[in-house]
């Protein structure tokens, strides 16, 4: 992206519940887990991530989106891999 | 896909964070006692009793620290060591260095007739008292964006633009507010500002991208603030400077003082070129000294003067030196001149800030800081809108409490990333929310570093100008409502959180590689 483009990015009103595209791969932080599946919040959109155990909590993971319901803003996906750490160190 | 029975619900857990290292009777909240005591002392002293004495504030924080120690459990050695831990943080020393360097620089320009040049220019160009605060705001914003230190800019502009504006009839409170507003603008936006860097680094975002993405919030606030200063400048009267004094100063005002625009440009230029702020201001000092000497604006003795007693062994033979004077009065013995006067105003403030940062560290290590933030994460950040409002609120509150905003930002940075990552807000958005409040709150309240620095510079003005009376000083509490850029920046972020303006998720855009410092 050009420098000028960076200045123009984000002059918009972004939804509280963003849509996810089924089949796409997205990188998100997992906030909670029950041991076998994790949950990520993208704004108020909830994504259930199969295979995201305790080792993924507060880590950035790649998820393949398998299902998404526009009306309830909830989706499901499969864990692909852990891709990053949290910048929160405390 | 998961079975219904596997669906994560109440069993979801989060890892614990480390506990406090200093324990207090009365719980973790008691570790906020020294800071809380100081804030109450500062309000009573500066607002209710109108005593703007930095020495008094030092006593206030000392008493707070001593009384706070009696609430500490176990060996008080840990309490004492925590004070040292806070005082030796680089952020505190960075602020002090910026103050001292900027103090010398501003004094050199002042003694070199820059204020007279400004008055001449404003008079010639027909800039009236009404427009002066708005123009000061813009110039302070540009200057701060160039050099990256809002504290330094506050000192330079209070020393230079403030007396010029007062003389022209601008309202002093509004003028001080405009200077602080300009400092906020630059502190927030400058790529070389320490708060910009801290906000980017703590949120894993690149500095260039952070600056570009925050421009929208800053410029909206700035346009409104500028209009505010134009309107208020027309509505608020200045104070009466004796007509004769004004006339004499105007007559003495000379365009040649404006040569120091180049001194300021030298600072901005070297800072933009990526040099350290100490190097940048040092170049400004070198250029200013050269101009003062070459153009006869000030002599060597005006820059540094040793006032030696008559019985000093080597004073007599070297009396012909332009930097040495033999004085008869024992009280007159000492070192004077622009460099000394520029530094002198910030010595007390430096001690005060070190002690406050020590007290802030007690609050952090004692757990009061965690109590507040854990409570807000658990109870307030229930959805993305509330999470962003919580980020704005906690960042603003912590920065309002801790005098040096960079220190506050370092402390709260991890919490902002924790809340933001929970809702997958990207690094730019998190960094912008964090630094917006950090910049704003560092220049509003009487105990804020920027206000203290500006006020310290202002207290020297009666010594510098015969027409400047004590009554023309602005009491720090009075300026609070007039720091338009600060209040508007916070307001812009509240609206942005409520409406989603400027919000970006990690799935929209990821920040680029962060340049670690």
Per-residue pLDDT of B436-462, as tens digits, reads 999 999 999 988 999 999 999 999 999
B501 touches chain A (CB under 8 A): yes
Tokens standing for B351? Answer: 């001690």
Q: What is the pLDDT of residue B513?
A: 58
How many whole angstroms separate alpha carbon B460 and alpha carbon B470? Answer: 10
Q: Which residue among B216, B415, B425 places its CB closest to the CB of A11?
A: B216
Residues in chain B: 517
**Pairing label, strands A32-33, B305-309:** unpaired
| Phi, psi torsion values for B450, nearest 5 degrees | -65, -40
Domains and CATH numbers, chain A: 22-84 (2.40.50.140)
Task: Give chain B's end-to-end CA distance (angstroms, integer).
Answer: 43
Q: Give dist(CA B434, CA B424) in Å, integer.
A: 16
Query: Order of strands, edge to edge, in the sheet holding B324-327?
Result: B324-327, B305-309, B334-336
| CA triple A2-B438-B433, angle to 5 deg | 50
ipTM above 0.85 for this complex: yes
Torsion over CA of B85, B277, B110 and B141, rounded to 10 degrees?
-100
- Residues of B whose CB is below 8 A from A76: 1-2
How far apart are alpha carbons B33 and B31 in whole angstroms?
5
Token reading at B63: 């008493």
Residue A41 with chain B: CB contacts under 8 Å: 384, 422-424
Of B34, B80, B89, residue with least CA distance to B60: B34
Chain A interface disruption, residue of B14, B381, B384, most A CBs within 10 A: B384
Of all residues in chain B, the one with the smallest CA distance to A37 is: B8
For residue B4, the model assigns a pLDDT of 39
Beta bridge pairs of residue A46: A41, A74
Looking at the complex, does the CB of residue B471 fall below 8 Å from at least one CB of chain A? no
**DSSP-based three-state secondary structure for B85:** helix
Q: What is the DSSP string of B130-193?
A: TTHHHHHHHHHHHHHHHH--HHHHHHHHHHHHHHHHHHHT--HHHHHHHHHHHHHHHHHH-TT-
Nearest to B18 by CA among B370, B422, B375: B370
Q: Check the CA dihedral B206-B207-B208-B212 and report its sign.
A: positive
Is B209 part of the contact surface with chain A (CB cutoff 8 Å)?
A: yes
Taking the CA atoms of B499, B502, B506 and B508 in sequence, report the sign of the dihedral they define. positive
Q: Chain A: residue nearest B213 by CA?
A: A7
How far apart CA A47 and CA A78 sit, in angstroms, is 10
Instruction: Tell me which H or E stretch contains A32.
Output: strand A32-33
- Ranges A23-32, A44-53, B188-197, B491-500: which has the least confidence: B188-197
Helix (H, G, I), strand (E, B) or coil at A68: strand
Among B6, B216, B385, whose Cβ lies nearest the Cβ of A36?
B6
Nearest by Cα to B496 from B406, B384, B419, B334: B384
As a whole number of angstroms, the longest Cα–Cα distance in chain B is 97
Tokens linked to B497? 């959180």
Cβ-contact A50, A79 below 8 angstroms: yes
DSSP letter, residue B471: G
Cβ contacts (< 8 Å) between A90 and chain B: which residues?
17-18, 414-415, 418
Q: Which residue has the higher pLDDT, B428 or A6?
A: B428
- Kindly tell me if the per-residue pLDDT of A59 is higher than 50: yes
Given this model, what pLDDT does residue B47 score? 74
State both tokens at B232: 């208020």
Spell out the residues 6+ positions from residue B198 whose beta carbon is closer than 8 angstroms to its own: B406, B409, B410, B413, B435, B438
At residue B17, the pLDDT reads 42
Identify the segments of chain B with pLDDT beneath 70. 1-20, 513-517
pLDDT of residue A88: 60
Task: Tell how far CA B10 is from the center of its chain.
Answer: 45
Residues of chain B contacting A31 with CB distance shorter than 8 Å: 12, 14, 421-422
Cβ of B502 and A10 within 8 Å? yes
pLDDT, tens digit, 9 for 90 and up, residues B65-84: 999 999 999 899 999 999 99
| Largest interatomic CA distance in chain A | 45
Do residues B362 and B34 lie in contact, with contact meaning Cβ atoms separated by under 8 Å?
Answer: yes
CA pair distance B94, B91, nearest whole angstrom: 5
Task: Identify whether the C-beta of residue B220 lies closer than 8 Å to the C-beta of residue B436.
Answer: no
Residue B492 structure tokens:
């812009």
**Phi, psi dihedrals of residue B381, rounded to the nearest 5°:** -85, 65
The 3-state DSSP class for residue B287 equals helix
């Amino acid at each position: 992206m050009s420098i000028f483009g960076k200045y123009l990015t984000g002059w918009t009103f972004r939804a509280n519940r963003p849509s996810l595209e089924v089949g796409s791969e997205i990188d998100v932080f997992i906030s909670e887990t029950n041991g076998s599946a994790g949950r990520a919040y993208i704004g108020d959109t909830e994504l259930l991530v199969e295979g995201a155990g305790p080792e993924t909590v507060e880590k950035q993971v790649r998820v393949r989106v398998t299902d998404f319901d526009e009306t309830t803003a909830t989706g499901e996906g499969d864990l692909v891999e852990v891709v990053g750490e949290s910048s929160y160190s405390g | 896909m998961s079975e219904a029975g596997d669906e994560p619900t109440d069993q979801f857990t989060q890892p614990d964070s480390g506990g406090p290292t200093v324990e207090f009777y009365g719980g973790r909240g008691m570790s906020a006692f020294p800071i809380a005591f100081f804030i109450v002392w500062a309000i009573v002293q500066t607002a209710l009793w109108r005593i703007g004495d930095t020495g008094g504030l030092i006593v206030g924080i000392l008493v707070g620290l001593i009384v706070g120690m009696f609430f500490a459990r176990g060996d008080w050695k840990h309490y004492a060591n925590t004070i040292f831990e806070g005082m030796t943080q680089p952020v505190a020393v960075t602020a002090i260095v910026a103050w001292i360097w900027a103090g010398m620089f501003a004094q050199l320009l002042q003694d070199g007739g820059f204020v007279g040049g400004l008055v001449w220019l404003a008079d010639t160009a027909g800039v009236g008292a009404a427009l002066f605060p708005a123009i000061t705001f813009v110039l302070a914003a540009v200057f701060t964006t160039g050099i990256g230190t809002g504290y330094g800019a506050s000192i330079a502009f209070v020393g230079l633009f403030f007396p010029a504006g007062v003389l022209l009839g601008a309202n002093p409170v509004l003028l001080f507010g405009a200077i602080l507003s300009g400092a906020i603008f630059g502190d927030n936006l400058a790529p070389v500002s320490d708060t910009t860097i801290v906000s980017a680094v703590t949120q894993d975002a690149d500095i260039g991208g952070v600056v570009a993405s925050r421009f929208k919030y800053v410029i909206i606030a700035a346009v409104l603030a500028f209009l505010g200063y134009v309107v208020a400048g027309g509505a608020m009267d200045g104070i009466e400077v004796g007509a004769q004094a004004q006339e004499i100063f105007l007559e003495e005002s000379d365009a040649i003082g404006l040569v120091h625009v180049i001194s300021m440009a030298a600072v901005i230029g070297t800072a933009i070129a990526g040099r350290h702020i100490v190097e940048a201001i040092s170049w400004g000092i070198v250029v200013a000294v050269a101009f003062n000497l070459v153009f006869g604006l000030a002599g060597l003795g005006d820059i540094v003067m040793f006032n030696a007693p008559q019985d000093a062994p080597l004073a007599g033979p070297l009396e012909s030196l332009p930097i040495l004077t033999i004085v008869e009065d024992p009280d007159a013995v000492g070192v004077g001149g622009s460099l000394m006067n520029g530094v002198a105003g910030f010595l007390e403030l430096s001690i005060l800030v070190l002690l406050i940062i020590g007290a802030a560290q007690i609050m952090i290590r004692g757990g009061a800081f965690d109590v507040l933030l854990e409570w807000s994460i658990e109870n307030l950040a229930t959805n993305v809108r509330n999470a962003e409002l919580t980020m704005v609120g906690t960042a603003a509150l912590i920065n309002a409490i801790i005098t040096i905003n960079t220190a506050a930002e370092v402390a709260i940075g991890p919490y902002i990333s924790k809340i933001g990552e929970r809702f997958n807000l990207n690094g730019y958005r998190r960094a912008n929310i964090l630094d917006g409040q950090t910049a704003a709150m560092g220049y509003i309240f009487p105990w804020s570093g920027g206000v203290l620095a500006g006020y310290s510079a202002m207290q020297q003005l009666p010594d510098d100008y015969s027409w400047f009376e004590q009554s023309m000083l602005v009491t720090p509490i009075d300026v609070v409502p007039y720091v338009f850029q600060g209040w508007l920046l916070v307001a812009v972020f509240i609206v942005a959180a409520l409406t989603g303006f400027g919000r970006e998720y990690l799935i929209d855009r990821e920040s680029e590689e962060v340049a670690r410092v």
